Amino acid sequence: MPGFNPDRGFGVYVHWPYCARICPYCDFNVYAAKARDTDPLYRAILDDLSGWRGRTGERQVASIFLGGGTPSLMTGEQVAGVIAQVDRLWGLKPGAEITLEANPDDAARFGDFAAAGVNRLSLGVQSLDDARLKFLGRMHSADEALRALEQAKGKFRSVSVDLIYSLPGQSEADWRTELSRTLALGADHLSLYELTIEPGAAFAFAVKRKDWTPLDDDRSAGLYEVTQAMTAEAGFDGYEISNHARGFEHQSVHNRIYWSSGDWVGVGPGAHGRLTTGDERWAIEAAEKPGEYLQQVKAQGLGWAGVEKLEAVADARERVAMGLRVVDGFERGLVGELGLSLDEARVAELVRDRLLVEGARVVLTPEGRLLADRIAGEIAP
């Protein structure tokens, strides 16, 4: 198995699991914030980072991503402390991307986050329609989201906006209007996600009770095609299935590390990481519940609860699945080096059906992106 390739990137993901309210579409590892003393978790994250440093050796960090949960519930001092710890342990590459996910409700702290060293804000707007925001369980209004975006644009070198579409009853005209309005707001990056009904999320139980009916696949596909056309026309490159940037400099460095099968540290309850040491690659998961995570870090100096060595073929399948998400696809030669033989007959069929372009790199066509997960499973069985 090829060793660590710094060209694929090395990043740090920090999972802050607390939320003021848990959204009904969310199946992430999150917990109600309540009136908690978060200092023990913050200290455990710093210690976990130190434990990871002993396993990675010397590397430079291209990206820090503070996600969740709601990391904008952290204090500016906590965010600054995490960034300083990462820099002390590994060193940050010049111009390293430092992203924090934020809710519009927390705009009063944007200045603190910028002062702490955050240079990219990912703002969870989700909708510009108050009724849909209520349906999605969001605590902010559309006007509050717009004000938060204006504040963010003056403080960070890059601002990303998240929106969810393909909502029940949403028509093409509805989505065109909302997306047109979003494209005019001056954000640098857009993450535009179709609503998915995740097992275990509150929405899954609501659908099972027949409280409401999800949009059907054909209408969702139509909205996806509208999304691609409108963002491209507005100058937002669709560099990944759900992500669009106003130029290469605003693409998410951190997500690029995931999609190119780079290495990343994962700290915080339930965080996942990937680590290549020598010719071995490991999938790592931290203890899930905050209390268990604190105990694990205290006992072991690391939050690791699950460690799995990825065999070469499993690594190759992961590279196929991740690589197909981006516009430049994956390297055919690399997965071959890892011992994975693609299903050439199926590849040829997909090329004939204009869902795949095959050469030194295997790339999905715009039509193929609608079926990315299925195609990955079919060509890399």
CATH code for the domain defined by 312-381: 1.10.10.920
With a cut of 70, which residues of the chain have pLDDT below it? 1-3, 6
Q: What is the pLDDT of residue 3?
A: 67
What are the extents of the domains in the chain?
6-257, 312-381
Q: What is the pLDDT of residue 358?
A: 85
Q: What is the pLDDT of residue 35?
A: 83
What's the sign of the alpha-carbon dihedral 301, 19, 272, 9?
A: negative
Q: Using an 8 Å Cβ cutoff, are 78 and 42 in contact?
A: yes
129-173: pLDDT as tens digits: 999 999 999 999 999 999 999 999 989 999 999 999 999 999 999
Tell me if domain 6-257 and domain 312-381 are identical in fold.
no
The CATH homologous superfamily of the domain defined by 6-257:
Aldolase class I (3.20.20.70)
**pTM for the whole structure:** 0.95
248-282: pLDDT as tens digits: 999 999 999 999 989 999 999 999 999 999 889 99
Q: What is the pLDDT of residue 142?
A: 97
